[in-house]
Amino acid sequence: MIGRNRVVITGLGVLAANGIGKDAFWRTLLAGESGIGPITQFETTDFKSRIAGEVSNFVPENFMNGRVKARRLSRNVQLGAKAALLAVEDSGLNPEDLRRAEPLPIIIGISLGGFDHIENQILRVSKLGPNKLVPHAVEGCIHLAAASLIGAILNVETELCTISNSCVGGLDSIARGAQIIREGKADICICGATEAPIVPSAMAGFCAAGMVSTNNDNPKLASRPFDISRDGGVLAEGSGIVVLESLDHAMSRNKAPYAEVLGYGTSRDLNVGISGNGLKMSMRKALANSSLMPREIDAIFAHGPSDQILDVSESILITDCFGDHAYRIPVTSIKGVTGNPLAAGGAHQTIACSLSMKANCIPPTANHKFPDPDCLLDYVPDSPRHLCVDKVLINSHGSGAMNSSLIIGSAS
């Protein structure tokens, strides 16, 4: 990324099916403990897929302190606000630090956004008529709602941006924040993504498209990235927020960063599916943007959604991009544990990658037991891999044939 400032990650906030907070998230990733289970948010009797990755034990009223009524907010907004508070707390930034950063950039990625709120209001109109719509109906479902609430809770002047780029929105938001800091336009930026797509209409759509697993009897084993027995991904909710700072700013307050943002690339598939080359192009652009050679990448955090086509496609394109080195790179997917939380997936991967660099350990690809013969890479099966993790590439693919790749490196 061209610019004068180095950009580092100093705070991590995460809510996922496998845990709330970085410690629970990391512990379950290392153990391969899936957070996927039966859907509890609505009746699923007539659905082909009745499982998802839900965030358990989340009570938004516990952190909003009456400032905003939780029931007026879509669930993705609630999740995003909590993740942002966790990230700021983890960064050690105090209210005065945030005020000095005004206007503080807040950049949030989404895919479906406030789908639950929209669906509820449509049902209300259908049942009760147009005169019974509540006043907050529109405000509660706008795409900017998550970023706006984060600014309100932090109580500082902000610059808000929402990136609605389907599942790549999480990586895109982090890349956008890094560029702002690199260009000297800000010292601090709050970035990430938040999603809550577990609603009847969204689930029905994913079922109709054949994109989700129907392994309802064994939900914890349903998401099986790169495994021959996979029958689809698992829809999930969650939020991942990171605090970005210029390295100079972090050093001025003696904050040790988790990692440094090195480069980014994005590209649309020319042909959707296994023949598409957009992901190969995004990886190559990220390498060039980081001034790195393929052999300098120590690990890849793959998109790996447990999809029958996309897993093969990603494996092939990694091989095309990295050549013989591809067979020596550990490639892991965390979606066996988290499910697929759409735009939040890339943010979750970035958080997992940052923790990997601190621990010098790569989490395993959960449920990867029987390798697909068309997926020939090292997918870190069974147990964590302990090795020096210095530079890592993160992949994300989204509906609309979008692809993004981010490279982060050790900040030591």
pLDDT of residue 367: 97
pTM of the model: 0.94
Q: Which residues are CB-neighbours of 408 under 8 A, at least 6 positions away?
A: 9, 259, 260, 261, 262, 350, 353, 354, 357, 391, 392, 394
- Tokens 């964590």: give the residue: 384
- pLDDT, tens only, 365-385: 999 999 999 999 999 998 999
Q: Is the peptide bond before 103 cis (omega within 30 degrees of 0)?
A: yes
CA separation for the pair 186, 259 (Å, rounded) = 18
pLDDT < 50: residue spans in the chain: 1, 274
Taking CA atoms, 38 is separated from 56, 235, 343, in Å, by 12, 11, 22
What tokens does 25 get?
């998230």
Three state DSSP letters for the chain: CCCCCCEEEEEEEEEECCEECHHHHHHHHHHCCCCCEECCCCCCCCCCCCEEECCCCCCCHHHHCCCCCHHHCCHHHHHHHHHHHHHHHHHCCCHHHHHHCCCEEEEEEECCCCHHHHHHHHHHHHHHCHHHCCCCCCHHHCCCHHHHHHHHHHCCCEEEEEEECHHHHHHHHHHHHHHHHHCCCCCEEEEEEEECCCCHHHHHHHHHCCCECCCCCCHHHCCCCCECCCCCECEECEEEEEEEEEHHHHHHCCCCCCEEEEEEEEEECCCCCCCCCHHHHHHHHHHHHHCCCHHHCCEEECCCCCCCCHHHHHHHHHHHHHHHHHHHCEEECCHHHHCECCCHHHHHHHHHHHHHHHHCEECCCCCCCCECCCCCCECCCCCCEECCCCEEEEEEEECCCEEEEEEEECCC
Rounded to the nearest 10 degrees, the angle between the axes of helix 200-208 and helix 115-128 is: 110
pLDDT of residue 124: 74
Q: Report whether 317 contacts 144 (CB < 8 A).
A: no
pLDDT of residue 2: 52
pLDDT of residue 33: 97
pLDDT of residue 132: 67
- pLDDT, tens only, 383-406: 999 999 999 999 999 888 899 999
CA separation for the pair 363, 380 (Å, rounded) = 8
pLDDT of residue 276: 67
